[in-house]
Amino acid sequence: MQNLNLPPDAAANTISLMIGHPDPTTLFTPEFQASVNRVLAAPQPFHALEYGQEQGNPALIDFLVDKFNRDQTLALSREQLMIVAGSTHAVDMIARLYTHPGGAVMVEAPTYADALHIFRDHSVELHGVPMDDQGVIIAEMERLLERLSASGNLPALFYTIPTFHNPSGTTLSESRRVEILKLAQRYGFMIVEDDVYRALEFDTHAPPSFFALAKNSGVSVTHIGSFSKTLAPGLRLGWLIASAEAIAGFVDCGTTQMGGGASPLSAQIVAEYCRQGHWEAHILHLQQVYQMRRDIMLAALEQYMPEGVTWTMPAGGFFVWVTLPENVFAREVKRQAQEHRVMVAAGPNYFIDPNSDNGQHNLRLTYSFAPPEDIETAVRILAEVVTGLCA
């Protein structure tokens, strides 16, 4: 039977290395089903279907605060965490409350395309900071800040995906995080840390978050997490961590006030799931699943890609960023690969101006979604396309 929920690029007979969705076979588990059943079998199940509290489900807030305090040696109070309808909801709220049309916002170049979309919706002036394989380049950020300072339009915030970055797969080193915090102190911008892939680490532990490193620095950090990558994106559930004052502002903003809190039914089910200890076990399983998928993709790239093609080595998350030789253009590779039923994402869309030179020779490959047995086939076909274009 056709799955009508599949995105168009994952249609029958194609292999998608394009979309950054989780492995569909990991989404529905007996433990999740049991949590749904328990919530709906409660003596008064209609409570789960009512409007929720504005800050979010209290049991889930308590669970997350305890977990992050324990795992990341933080000292969060429950006033510092809010449940949101996914990371995307949080980014939109932050843009709404902390930017204004024409005001400057810094992003990584490349960055998550849907975040660019949200910032464009708010008519801000976007500025990209170039990256290398350790994340954003500090000297480039300093240069940009000096320029913006001279023009009197210092950025309100820096939006970053520091850990297992989308689309590049890189992780910002701890020393660069510290340097960026110093720049935030000097120039007074907020750091918006979109950390949705943090838990999906393979080889080594991810560096401390900006939020953890910022302790006592006076720098304002909003930290965003999500159940989309470690449980199920259809829940539309995530969290936002910030100062108590900032959280009070988010709780007080328009859509939260009459939104009845974010995704109350999902939140109640997930609170039950987490209370039973299932989430941590599931994350350990996902780390193995995605590490195995990553290894298949890296081995296939090594085996099939022609000379002159390079790629990043993600230590977690979903993505590999491929750099093609200068005479090979990503959009042409994408077009030809599609003719052979392999879907990939071309680099330009991850940059502020998709018509600039940026990303013209890059591809984003995801190893998270396609069946593992198809990943090697897809990379082989892709490599044949690239080899043909190198000639």
Ligand X SMILES: Cc1ncc(COP(=O)(O)O)c(C=O)c1O
How are beta strands 190-194 and 157-160 bridged, if at all?
parallel
Q: Which is nearer to ligand X, 114 or 133 (CB)?
A: 114
Which of 232, 379 has the CB closer to ligand X? Answer: 232
Q: Which residue has the tokens 């965490």?
A: 81
* Neighbouring-strand partners of residue 108: 129
Residue 161 interacts with ligand X (CB under 6 A): yes or no? yes
CA distance 316 to 167: 12
Answer for which of 124, 181, 196, 286 binds ligand X (CB under 6 A) is 196
Give the residue with the Cβ less far from ligand X, 309 or 368: 368
Q: Give me the DSSP letters along 248-287.
A: HHHHTSHHHHTTTSS-HHHHHHHHHHHHTTHHHHHHHHHH
Using CB under 6 A, pick the residue from 14, 16, 80, 87 that binds ligand X. 87
Amino acid at 318: F
Name which of 115 and 301 has its Cβ closer to ligand X. 115
- Closest separation in Å from C-beta 47 to ligand X: 25
Residue 86 touching ligand X (CB under 6 A): yes
Residue 208 binds ligand X (CB under 6 A): no
Instruction: Tell me which of 130, 233, 325, 354 binds ligand X, using CB under 6 A.
Output: 233
* 226 contacts ligand X (rule: CB under 6 A): yes
Residues 6+ apart with CB under 8 A from 146: none
In angstroms, what is the minimal distance from the CB of 126 to ligand X? 16
Q: How far is the CB of 85 from ligand X (least distance, A)?
A: 8
Interface with ligand X, residue 222, by CB under 6 A? no
Q: Does 20 bind ligand X (CB under 6 A)?
A: yes
CB of 366 vs ligand X, minimal distance in Å: 9
To ligand X, the closest distance from the beta carbon of 371 in angstroms equals: 19
Q: Which is nearer to ligand X, 97 or 389 (CB)?
A: 97
171 near ligand X, judged by CB under 6 A: no
56 binds ligand X (CB under 6 A): no
Q: How open is the CA angle 186-126-214, to the nearest 5 degrees? A: 35
What are the tokens at 118? 């949200």
CA distances, 147 to each of 80, 105, 184, 320 (Å): 34, 13, 15, 32
Contacts of 108 (CB under 8 A, 6+ apart): 128, 129, 131, 135, 136, 159, 160, 161, 165
Note the residues at the interface with ligand X (CB under 6 A): 20, 86-88, 112, 161, 166, 194, 196, 226, 228, 233, 238
